Structure 1
């Protein structure tokens, strides 16, 4: 088998062929699916290996002390040989992984061959294809939890043990200094425990990531912003607890902790930073300084780790193994989200190159995963393939008979900003349309919409609307997490449905919508993909004409930063930003190329801030979607270029379009605001409802676009193209 090793004397990194470990009693042999690089601990070790002998000595004074003791005991010559022998040997890397049990040793009865487990330990959860793991250093992965996420189990346990040492109470305020991998996990765990969190890190990207994951405020330790935030949130009293998750030789974290703590506050050291405690500051506040020992009780105890002797739960509630199982449970229940922390997924064969890129600063990352060949070849759930569900309509239900003169009666579920600014203004004055009922979760918002747009009724009772036979169509314009379920209910109630994007946030939600179509026979569904209806883009497509060969399409979306507090940042419930908005751009590309995509490949900058998504199409056409949040606010939001057959189409942010070929066509600049197609889309939808004719966009296309959008996340996690397999 292959394993990543390092020579501490020379600094050499290598992937070596080594013997397969035996499956000893009291443990299991695990074939690795994903292992996690600790960008703090492991990179520190890699960097130290590249130092001179003097540099190594300076970085490890504890080891120097041991050497001096050996000199006094054994003499210089014997000590020198011993030290050189240890330095000039290959040592392993890694301590956090997820894999499949391949063999069970004697004395093990809690897992079986084929079970998925998360493993811990810098001697047992190594970057290697196979590892022998003793009983107390593995935990079964809960059903539904992806292996790449379960690979975070060990570092999650480190963060969890640190939080336990801080003993956070509901409503307390915590300061996390250092927002690397451990710090980001500490932030989420504190938020889950009911604490209010402030983060500190010199890296603005890491500060922004922590805020997305629940921190109320973050900032540079050198700025006044952090101190101002602490004063505002605590009323000038100081934080209840500080978590030192930073590394390095600076004493600044320890000094900052003392300055921002309240009287008798708690300071917990999780990372490996300098601890030159300023005596007066800590004495005057009588600060409680605590250390967190790695994954939890049992660490460094050979009887616990190697011999499997557990501590009685009545005396030690949270051991290494119980912490590991607890963190996996938190992941499975979406109390902690590690997906935003995954900066890069590398093939195990590229391990040396990946370490070098991290060391050189070329690859800036919070968390990096190694993906092992067997994880893909065995076709596990995370393999890069996504099924595009087949549309089965069951017994078709015809559109309800309507009088040609009767108005189309519409009900709205949700009356937020998009509904009231982009949809209702186009419908309120449209001939032949009656705004029947508006449903919201709060009575006042329903009343406001009724007053502003003339709804006949306002209510908070969804069932009353779905059961009203006079309502012809229902608009679902709520938060993303509710779209699929509300759409499913409306279809089963026999209503024609217009749902704003996205149709679904998961493959399961999409399957649920299609199950409702099959059960009810009602396929009267439209998703708010409005750009294909934009007059300017419609005209440009007409001027471009039909294609004979494959096309290349480039779509740049300058999405910009979201304001702090936006519900779009609630990824654990509302999905990623691209999952919510990306369908617009996939649909536009597919409409222009007149086909549904066959594969998706996505890459991202650290933190998944900026995405590059490549879509392949049946005729060889490709579309590249660049979805970026780091662009300037003054730059146009959407620019698109389509090239094929010696012709080119360009769209400049729905203000101007042009086509280059034998003849050149350039649109006139639009006299009014950008028209992204909402009015024409709604007109087509109302016409379909009135006449009972086909919906504006085939259901198969809506499903394909949704599946392709969801496949972006799968590709980011796997690091490979995702095939869109058509259902039958």
Structure 2
């Protein structure tokens, strides 16, 4: 079998062929599916191995002390031979993985061959194809939890033990210093515990990632914004706990901890940073300094780890194994989301190159996984697949009855936020043949404001009453992303025509639920707010481009920009990723221009999955590349598009100007115009379909295909391979 090893003397990294470990009693033999690189602990070890002997000695004074003691006891020659022999040997790397049980040793009855388990330990959960793992260092993976997510079990346990040492309580405010892998997990665990979190890290991308995971505010350690956020959240008292998840030799973390802690606050050291405590600062506040020892009670105890002697739960509630199982449970229930932390997935055969890229800084990452092809079933010739759900309309009564000529179409709005009030309602208020019947919001005042401003006949917080009102023809769902699928499903079952803002769904299960409502009710009267295909400028450009006889290539640059602090788009755990929320616009536009639905998706991303490159392949060989970036110049146009094929080029510049170059050249008016992204035309088409009973503006099959492709982007980022859209038209 293959295993990643390092020679600490020379610094050499290698992928060696080594014997398969035996399956001893009280443990299991596990074939790896994914193993996680700890970009903190492991890279520190890799970097130390590349130092000179003097550098190694300076970095490990504890080992130097042991050497000096050996010299005093055994003499210089014997000590030299012993030290050089130990240095000039291969040592393993890795301590967190997920795999499949291949063989069960005597005394094991909680798992069987074929079961999926998460494993821990720097001697047992190594970057290797097979590992023997004692029973207190593995835990079964809950149903539904992806193997790549379960591979985070060990580092999740480290973060969890650190949080337990801080003893947080509901309503506390905590400071997390260092937003690497452990720090990000600490933020999520604290947030899930009802604690408000302020994060500190010099890397803006990591700060933004932590805010998307629920942190109230994040910033550079030298930034006044961090101190201001702490003052605001604690009314000037200081944080209840500080979690030190930083590394390095700077003493800044412990000084900052003292400065921002409240009187008698707790400081928990999880990482490995300098701890030259400023005596006066810690004494005056009587700060409680605590250490968190790795995964939890049992760590470094041979009787627990190797002999399998558990600690009674009445005396030790949270052991290593119980922490591991608890973290897996939280991940399986969606209370912790590790997917945004995955920066890169590398084939295990590329392990040496991956470590070198991390060491050299070419690969910037929060978390990197090794994928073991044999267990994941992912090969170059057999791509992973995501099913595009089939649309079944059932045999029920379809709500498509034409309205009387003089009878207005009565609309209800669920939600009256910024997009509804700025981009939709202005086009509907006062429109002939439209009556704004009822606006539904969760707060009475926002409903009253919408009623006053746009002329709704009624305002309420009672959604059930609106869905039960037979006089209402159509319902607009313009709420936060997490509620779209459920509200759409309920409105369809109530027999209403539905206009839902993108996205239609945040998961495959939500999409399936919407289609189940279509099948149950026979009501397929659904439109998703993919408005760009309705833009008059883009419609004219497509007409001028004309028909195609061969495949085309489309490039779509989306200069999305940074989100403002506090934006609910940052609540990725609850509201989905930013691309899931917005990416459907661009996939729908590409598919409309190319005249088909995509058959595969390939996605790559920068660290933190902020900037994406999404490549879509279409049945006729056409391709579309969507570059979704957040770090561009604010003054550059948000959306630029080029379609190239059959000797022609269509160019769109941010819905202000367009041109077609080919046998005949066409350029839109150069007079400045407001950007028309198609909302008005889309709403007109929807209202017309509701009034006449005619087809919806976009076929439901196309809406489903676009949604499935958008969701497949996340699957593509996770597996690092093209994702086939099975069942695509």
TM-score normalised by L of structure 1:
0.97
Indicate how the Cα distance of structure 1 residues 479 and 259 shifts in structure 2: closer, same or farther if over 3 A, else same: closer
Instruction: Tell me, in whole angstroms, the C-alpha distance in 1 between the residues paired with 2:436 and 2:530.
Output: 22
Matching residue of 1:345: 345
Q: Does 1:705 align with 2:706?
A: yes
Evaluate the alpha carbon distance shift between residue 383 and residue 115 of structure 1 in structure 2; reply closer, same or farther with a 3 A threshold: farther
Partners of 1:715 and 1:422 in 2: how far apart?
32
User: 2:327 is matched with which residue?
Assistant: 327
Is 1:75 aligned to 2:75, yes or no?
yes
Contact kept in structure 1, 2:298 and 2:304, CA below 8 Å: yes
RMSD: 1.6
In the TM superposition, what is the alpha-carbon distance from 1:263 to its structure 2 partner? 2.5
For residues 238 and 423 of structure 1, the distance between their equivalents in structure 2, rounded to whole angstroms, comes to: 44
Q: Tell me the residue number matched to 2:687.
A: 686
Range moving further from structure 2, 140-149 or 87-96: 140-149
Q: 1:111, CA displacement in angstroms?
A: 1.4
On the 8 A contact 2:378/2:384 being kept in 1, the answer is: no
Say whether 1:593 aligns with 2:584. no
Describe how 1:8-27 pairs up with structure 2 within 5 A. Answer: 8-27=8-27
Tell me, which stretches of 5 or more residues in structure 2 are unaligned?
Answer: none
CA distance in 1, matches of 2:341, 2:98: 17
1:189 aligns with 189
Secondary structure of the structure 1 residue equivalent to 2:266: strand
Over 3 Å counting, the alpha-carbon distance change for 1:15 and 1:227 in structure 2 is same
> How far apart are residue 390 of structure 1 and its match?
1.0
Using a 3 Å threshold, how does the CA distance of structure 1 residues 491 and 312 change in structure 2: closer, same or farther? same
* Structure 2 CA distance for aligned equivalents of residues 605 and 269 of structure 1: 30
Secondary structure of 1:56 counterpart: helix
Deviation (angstroms), 1:622: 0.5
Say whether residues 1:620 and 2:621 are aligned partners: yes
Deviation readout 1:380-404 (Å, 9 max, x if unpaired) = xx98310001111121634224323
The answer to whether the Cα contact below 8 Å between 1:655 and 1:670 also exists between their aligned partners in 2 is no
Deviations 1:289-341 (A, max 9, x none): 11111000000001100111000011111100011111111212222221221
2:139 corresponds to: 139
CA distance in 2, matches of 1:600, 1:76: 62
The range that moved more, 41-50 or 321-330, is 321-330
Give, in whole Å, the separation in 2 of the partners of 1:75 and 1:412: 85
- Map of 1:194-273 to 2, 5 A cutoff? 194-273=194-273
For 1:404, the equivalent position in structure 2 comes to: 405
Structure 1 match to 2:151? 151
| CA positional deviation for 1:138 | 0.8
Q: Are 1:507 and 2:481 matched, yes or no?
A: no
Distance 2:484 2:237 in 1: 43
CA–CA distance in 2 between the matches of 1:397 and 1:656?
45
3-state SS of the aligned residue for 2:604? Answer: strand
Contact kept? 1:32, 1:97, Cα under 8 Å: yes
- Determine if contact 1:383/1:718 at 8 Å carries over to the other structure: no
Distance in 2, matches of 1:432 and 1:185, equals: 53
> Where do 1:240-319 residues align within 5 Å?
240-319=240-319
* SS across alignment from 1:517: helix
SS at the partner of 1:582? Answer: helix
Task: Identify the residue that residue 662 of structure 2 maps to in structure 1.
Answer: 661
Counterparts of 1:6 and 1:512 in 2: how far apart (Å)? 50
User: Could you tell me which residue of structure 1 aligns to residue 631 of structure 2?
Assistant: 630
1:476-555 to 2 correspondence within 5 Å?
476-555=477-556
Contact between 2:139 and 2:325, CA under 8 Å: does it hold in 1?
yes
Q: CA deviation at 1:727?
A: 6.8
Kept in 1: contact 2:535–2:678 (CA 8 A):
yes
Q: What does residue 116 of structure 1 align with?
A: 116
CA distance in 2, matches of 1:252, 1:468: 62
Distance (Å, rounded) in 1 between the aligned partners of 2:680 and 2:670: 19
Give 2:645's aligned residue. Answer: 644
> Is 1:384 aligned with 2:384?
yes
Look up the match of 2:575.
Answer: 574
Partner residue in 1 for 2:470:
469
Secondary structure at the counterpart of residue 265 of structure 1: strand
Q: Distance in 1 between matches of 2:681 and 2:346?
A: 45
Write the distance in 2 (CA, Å) between the matches of 1:451 and 1:606: 46
Question: Residues 217-251 of structure 1, C-alpha deviation per residue, up to 9 Å, x if partnerless?
Answer: 22222333333333333333332222111111122
Instruction: Please give the secondary structure, in 2, of the residue aligned with 1:46.
Output: helix
**Which residue is 2:4 aligned to?**
4
Does residue 85 (structure 1) correspond to residue 80 (structure 2)? The answer is: no
Aligned structure 1 segments of 4 or more residues deviating by more than 4 angstroms: none
My pick for the range that moved more, 430-439 or 401-410, is 401-410
* More displaced stretch, 589-598 vs 168-177: 168-177
Measured in 2, the distance between the counterparts of 1:392 and 1:54 equals 71
Mapped partners of 1:299, 1:240: distance in 2: 27
Contact persistence 2:217–2:565 (CA under 8 A): no
The aligned counterpart of 1:35 is 35
Match of residue 54 from structure 1: 54
Distance 1:415 1:222 in 2: 39
Q: How far apart are the structure 1 equivalents of 2:146 and 2:514?
A: 23
Q: Give the match's secondary structure for 2:435.
A: strand
* 1:496-532 Cα distance to aligned partner (Å, 9 max, x none): 1111111111011111111111111111111111100
Q: CA deviation at 1:671?
A: 4.7
1:376–1:383 Cα contact (<8 Å) kept: no
Please state whether the residue corresponding to 2:411 is helix, strand or coil: strand
Task: Call closer, same or farther: CA 1:588–1:103 in 2, change over 3 Å.
Answer: same
- Separation (CA, whole Å) in 2 of partners of 1:632 and 1:58: 44
Q: Matched residues in 1 for 2:493 and 2:670: separation? A: 45
Say which SS state the counterpart of residue 450 (structure 1) adopts: helix
Alignment-derived partner of residue 126 in structure 2 = 126
Q: Are 1:656 and 1:670, in contact at CA under 8 Å, matched by a contact in 2? A: no
Q: Give 1:670 shift.
A: 5.6
Q: 1 CA distance for matches of 2:545 and 2:173?
A: 60
